[in-house]
């Protein structure tokens, strides 16, 4: 049997591409809001693995800080790395 015929026309022919783009952007905003809600819930239950104390999110949102231990646990790809060996020591003035 021969090759399947290739489609020579665009799959978006006749589709309002501006509308598709706006829909995608709205969906991205929606997903971000869901993610932010999950992060807040996760932050409420996480504790420092060293002292079991409270953690606060950094201003940039790229780490979690334990003020008692003066450690910063990094967040990579939206996943908090809660390993003491991976934590960075921070200045007492920044804690």
Yes or no: say if 80 and 86 are a contact pair by the CB < 8 Å rule. Answer: no
Q: What is the mean pLDDT of each run of 10 residues along the chain (95 residues)?
A: 60 67 73 60 88 90 92 88 93 65
Q: Is 39 exposed, middle or buried (0-12, 13-18, 19+ CB in 10 A)?
A: middle
For the domain bounded by 47-95, which CATH number is listed? 2.20.25.10
pLDDT value at position 2?
A: 62
Residue with token string 């022919």: 13
Partners of 89 in the β-ladder: 71
Paired tokens of 39 = 């992060």
pTM of the model: 0.58
């Amino acid at each position: 049997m021969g090759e399947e015929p290739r489609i020579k026309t665009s799959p978006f022919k006749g589709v309002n591409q501006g509308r598709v783009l706006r829909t995608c952007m709205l969906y991205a905003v929606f997903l971000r809001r869901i993610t932010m809600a999950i992060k807040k819930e996760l932050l409420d239950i996480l504790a420092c693995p060293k002292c079991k104390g409270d953690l606060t999110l950094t201003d940039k949102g790229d780490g979690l800080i334990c003020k008692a231990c003066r450690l910063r646990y990094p967040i990579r790809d939206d996943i908090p790395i809660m390993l003491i060996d991976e934590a960075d020591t921070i200045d007492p003035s920044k804690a």
